[in-house]
């Protein structure tokens, strides 16, 4: 007796579902279930350039090493980290005062010596070293 009533209850539950499914085919309606989006977030710190940033971004391209002129070096022989170099951009007359570790565009100041500054240039995932030296002034008698 109990099995028969259970079978009738199941039949009653499944019977109304069939016409509802038939009605859905006539008019397609999205379900009202909540949708949650999960996104991954990446941070590129110190591991090379960010692959999603443009290679031609104007802030990264300028100044070029050929645009800079070394005008002054204030060298501290006891504490080299306190040394300062003054650079001038010959294209727009901008002046940069840099210490070891400072970054200007794609140029990183690696070392400051008594008459020159050594840069690490980062281009397209590769690094190379360039040196800017003070121009020699003629001595006046």
C-beta atoms surrounding 56 within 10 Å: 7
> pLDDT tens digit string along 84-112?
999 999 988 899 999 999 999 889 999 99
63: preceding bond cis by omega (within 30 degrees): yes
CA distance 80 to 1: 97
CA 20 remoteness from chain centre = 53
> pLDDT tens digit string along 4-31?
665 656 566 665 544 554 555 555 556 6
Q: What angle do CA 83, 87, 93 make, to 5 degrees?
A: 155
This prediction's pTM: 0.54
């Amino acid at each position: 007796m109990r099995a028969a009533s259970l079978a009738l209850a199941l039949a009653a539950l499944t019977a109304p579902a069939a016409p509802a499914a038939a009605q859905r085919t006539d008019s397609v309606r999205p379900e009202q279930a909540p949708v949650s989006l999960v996104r991954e977030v990446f941070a590129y710190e110190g591991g090379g350039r960010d692959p999603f940033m443009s290679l031609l971004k104007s802030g990264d391209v300028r100044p070029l090493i050929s645009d800079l002129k070394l005008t002054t070096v204030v060298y501290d022989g006891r504490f080299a980290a306190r040394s300062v170099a003054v650079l001038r951009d010959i294209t727009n007359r901008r002046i940069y005062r840099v210490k070891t570790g400072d970054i200007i565009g794609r140029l990183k100041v690696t070392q400051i010596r008594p008459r020159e500054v050594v840069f690490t240039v980062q281009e397209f995932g590769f690094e190379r070293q360039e040196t800017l030296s003070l121009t020699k002034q003629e001595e006046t008698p």
